[in-house]
Amino acid sequence: MRRDEIVTGASQGGAAARRGGGRGTTGRRRASHSLEAVISEAVAILDESGEPGLTFRALAARLGTGVGSIYWYVSSKDELLERAADSVLAGVLAQTAHVGTDPDPIADVRAIAIAFYEATVNRPWLGAYFLQDSGTQINGLTLYDRMGRQVMRLDLTRRQQFDAVSAVMAFVVGVAADRGQDPPQEVRDGRVSADEFVADFRAQIRELGEQDFPFLFNIADEFAAHDDAEQFRAGLDLLLAGIRQQAAG
């Protein structure tokens, strides 16, 4: 797919909706706002309040319209979430438009994975709806294909290529979802600071004893001092080293 063929899922969905070709869009009356505006406000609500905060009533209030008009563009909350997730990925595509120019394909895979992670880590809702519906998520398909093109430059079988891209994507989504979880309640309500919580957790690990939990005891200080982004990159590099070794073999 050429760069000039890449469009946002929201824009493509808007064209489908206007043609009556989207899911459940036939027969709806045109609303005063655009699908792009609907999706943009939906992403804003998701970023502020998470998935529970995204209701058609809350979205309509932000748009200054009635709930019924939103159904002209999307048929359900699931479709809205799918399109919201895909619209965020448009930014990842723009950020990684240069890939394919590095002589090392692994470096390009790494660049895509990091950009994807950075867009996903503070959006736990995004990973859950990534590539749920290929009919509404052209950007997700394009991102998956873009990474796959880099892997195709390696000396791997088709199955190995598929496994490599799937493993990297799954690692990104899984780690981002874990990092994107809300902090413990006592940290959220201000009873303890994040540093105090981590220090207390480290102390609890050490109290378990080195004999019964030797690994946890050994990494207690690392747990307290590590940086999540650095740890993600370290794990990604281990995974990519395995892919490189497989291609070399």
In contact, 174 and 188? CB cutoff 8 Å: no
pLDDT of 225 reads 73
pLDDT at 63 over 60: yes
Kindly list the distances between the CA atom of residue 96 and the CA atoms of 64, 161, 184, 194, 216, in Å, as whole numbers in the listed order.
35, 20, 34, 33, 38
What is the residue whose two structure tokens read 């045109």?
Answer: 30
Region label for 14, one of left (φ > 0), alpha (ψ between -120 and 50) or beta (otherwise): alpha
Which residue bears the tokens 């892997």?
Answer: 151
The residue ranges of every structural domain in the chain are 3-179
pLDDT band at 66 (very low <50, low <70, confident <90, very high): confident
Closest CA to 99 of 159, 151, 141: 151
Share of the chain above pLDDT 90, in %: 41
How do residues 15-55 score in pLDDT, each as one tens digit?
343 333 444 433 333 444 688 999 999 999 998 888 889 99
Q: How far is 237 from 164, CA to CA, in rounded Å?
A: 13
Of the chain, the percentage scoring pLDDT greater than 70 comes to: 82
Please tell me which of 142-151, 213-222, 224-233 the model is most confident about, judged by mean pLDDT.
142-151
pLDDT score, position 33 = 64
pTM: 0.76
Q: How far apart are CA 97 and CA 89, in angstroms?
A: 12
Give the tens place of pLDDT for each residue, 101-153: 889 999 999 999 999 999 988 887 887 778 777 677 889 899 999 999 999 99
Q: Which CATH number fits domain 3-179: 3.40.50.300, 1.10.357.10, 1.10.3720.10, 1.10.150.120?
A: 1.10.357.10
Quick check: 195 pLDDT over 80? no
> What is the reported pLDDT for 183?
61
Would you say residue 96 has pLDDT above 80?
A: yes
Give the mean pLDDT of the chain. 82
Mean pLDDT of 5-12: 38
